[in-house]
Structure 1
């Protein structure tokens, strides 16, 4: 095996970027200590006629490290190793493999063939892995800028004609797909035909993937769930599992975070609201158990180089799960939200209309919730995130839902009582601070050309760090020199500004 080109990079460390917040921790969470030479030997041994690796390219996303091997006969093989934050150990890999095999059996969606896999990090490679054939064709992200408007419309239509086959599959429960032979521990499973089953949800929102889970106030509730009401309980329990013990020291929290007691009370009150909403016929019609691609963007779609209306591959089914249909309704793919101008023409509006028409007629199960008032679904999406977002965000959704209860068409009265005038005034103050923090993160990310979590390419790291500090200094100066702040101004001094600043700063 030719080793020279293979070892021109570091296979173990994360090298594709740095973070403006918790950089050391984020890079450590993406380090994989494994046996790269053993992975290379496994690649070579997978098929007859391939005696050596000609080249290897490393690529990294937020949850995986990918190696693209070019063999001596010119063929390409892809090996993907998950970071620990990608999902629960063993289950995330086992579920992805089962989902791919299930879809290959049930649909004509083009998904590269799995050549080998292991969900046991104690294997000879020293990491979980999935080895697949490389997708045929060209990545849609590369092809898109040079496509005409008509080609883009035809491509969007082709994507949803394929995915319609996935959406049309009926399931009896919410959860994730597994092979019947998968080791699921004490978790329950619901058998499906063909050697498959629905087991626990492999999404990271239900598991400790480096952000801590505590079960002093609840027990693990990771599915599967037969009804929307029990699915909702799972969301609430996931929120409770993020709340640390009462004797924990929770320092450096923004003013809208809320105490541990506040979160516990809010989530239990929210449980009664979600339970009442789950019993509504409109919500149930929009909550049919549905499987869909979790990250449907141009980078995960491959098309024919000669005819981009031919879909040659859809990759990255990691964390695919069976969710209520409305769970996918607010996820708009990047090919439907922005289209780089081709030959001076902006096709964004055309692509958005094509997306709306295709989803309406080809995947109505997903389109139907988008036509409904989003207030019917927002409490479901916020409840499990209270400790991360702050209590004020979920409280705001419950208040708005309560106000609109009759207008939304729900029967009986809302089980959530509106706060007293005094508490409402405090809530408004906290919510203004929360909005200021969200706006600050959005604006800073744009100005620093970073992702919302502070990720920047390595070549921009030093400049971004310097600019982050300079922007804080400039904004602090503006805050301190504002002699007549509005009564509703949430940022009044350095402590307020530091509390909501999204990226790392020198200590006072």
Structure 2
């Protein structure tokens, strides 16, 4: 399996120099293509003498148009509707018809360093202040009403409307061509939506996984269980009123410390980066189910540290009188949690089997799915 990094474009300083006059910017004093790359972007720092530094994020061809358009729309929505600090967009292009030959987003540079770099050196009081900030972020993200599970996009008139669902784990065109027989597409293998409810989205995810099971020989071991999955989908439809008890929220979905900028001198968070895969989701699948506040220390102890962090968030949110913010992200019933577990496990099986990965775990995941399904059908 290739990684997103392998598909990143080669970008030159002269190409960036050619871009600037086309978007009414003067020649930059310095242009530095950074060695550190995001998985889906090449990053360049542009400086001038008399204006703010800018960050140019040049996208690879992983998810044409949608990812760039979503990030710009999400940042625009956040600026219009919340107090969450984000890097303002100066210019963007979701086409490749420009001197770079790539999609890009040009943003103002946020002051400070990523939080993972400074977290170990912060005092307890400084850390508590950051927890308070994150409590407010979670409250902001869960306090707005949404009607669709979707990404966002901007119309030509500046209106923010639903777009297709995005996920870093979706099958990209380059991997579909490598791992699937001819005829399969991004649309045939991924749930794109938008979707109007939790159950509708869950069923769509299952149906796309079931399609892959029918098409790929590495998934033949799941085919005998397709009728049981079909019965499960029917049960979800019948119980949809109960299972749909959720709120929808905009979720960053990769809110680790590397995406949180912190100013050591000012003792404050200056902004949150990388909203490219953010989507409106059921709260149960929002921030706390992913990389929220991950410190990027790969020592096997993150689970314990995350548990402690969530407890601090609970305490800080309750002390402020706004209720337990962590509780907002919980499942409302065992059935709802099991619905999500089946969806996630089947997706995991479909994700790794065509790539020849996790052979020792696939059967265990299948058995977990069957145990839940058999309990539902009793």
TM-score normalized by the length of structure 2: 0.79
Q: Is 1:270 aligned to residue 229 of structure 2?
A: yes
Report the secondary structure of 2:32's partner residue: strand
Q: Is 1:38 aligned to residue 38 of structure 2?
A: no
1:230 aligned to which of 200, 207, 214? 200
The alignment's C-alpha RMSD in Å is 3.6
Report the secondary structure of 1:369's partner residue: coil
Q: Is 1:387 aligned to residue 350 of structure 2?
A: yes
Cα drift, residue 103 of structure 1: 1.2
1:131 aligned to which of 96, 102, 106? 106
The equivalent residue for 2:159 is: 195
1:314 aligned to which of 262, 267, 272? 272
Report the secondary structure of 1:231's partner residue: helix
Within-5 A mapping of 1:66-465: 66-73=43-50, 75-85=52-62, 88-181=63-156, 195-212=159-176, 219=188, 221-243=191-213, 245=215, 259-267=218-226, 269-277=228-236, 279=239, 283-285=243-245, 287-308=246-267, 310-328=268-286, 329-335=288-294, 351-357=309-315, 361=323, 363=325, 366-369=328-331, 374-390=337-353, 392-402=363-373, 405=375, 414-415=376-377
Cα drift, residue 327 of structure 1: 1.4
Report the secondary structure of 2:253's partner residue: coil
Alpha-carbon distance between aligned partners in 1 of 2:328 and 2:224, rounded to the nearest angstrom: 33
Please, which moves more after superposition, 353-362 or 221-230? 353-362
Alpha-carbon distance between aligned partners in 2 of 1:33 and 1:338, rounded to the nearest angstrom: 29
Within-5 A mapping of 1:494-505: none
Report the secondary structure of 1:210's partner residue: helix
Alpha-carbon distance between aligned partners in 2 of 1:389 and 1:52, rounded to the nearest angstrom: 45
CA contact (8 A) 1:64 1:80 kept: yes
Report the secondary structure of 2:127's partner residue: helix
CA contact (8 A) 1:145 1:339 kept: no
Cα drift, residue 370 of structure 1: 9.1
Alpha-carbon distance between aligned partners in 2 of 1:267 and 1:119, rounded to the nearest angstrom: 39
Cα drift, residue 202 of structure 1: 2.6
The equivalent residue for 2:358 is: none
TM-score normalized by the length of structure 1: 0.60
Cα pair distance change 1:157/1:339, threshold 3 Å: farther
Alpha-carbon distance between aligned partners in 2 of 1:241 and 1:383, rounded to the nearest angstrom: 12
Cα drift, residue 369 of structure 1: 2.5
Cα pair distance change 1:136/1:382, threshold 3 Å: same
Alpha-carbon distance between aligned partners in 2 of 1:233 and 1:290, rounded to the nearest angstrom: 19
Cα drift, residue 65 of structure 1: 1.5
CA contact (8 A) 1:297 1:333 kept: yes
Can you give the 5+ residue segments of structure 2 that lack an aligned partner in the other structure? Answer: 354-361
The structure in which a higher percent of residues are helix is 2
Cα pair distance change 1:293/1:383, threshold 3 Å: same
Q: Which has the larger radius of gyration?
A: 1
Cα pair distance change 1:289/1:271, threshold 3 Å: farther
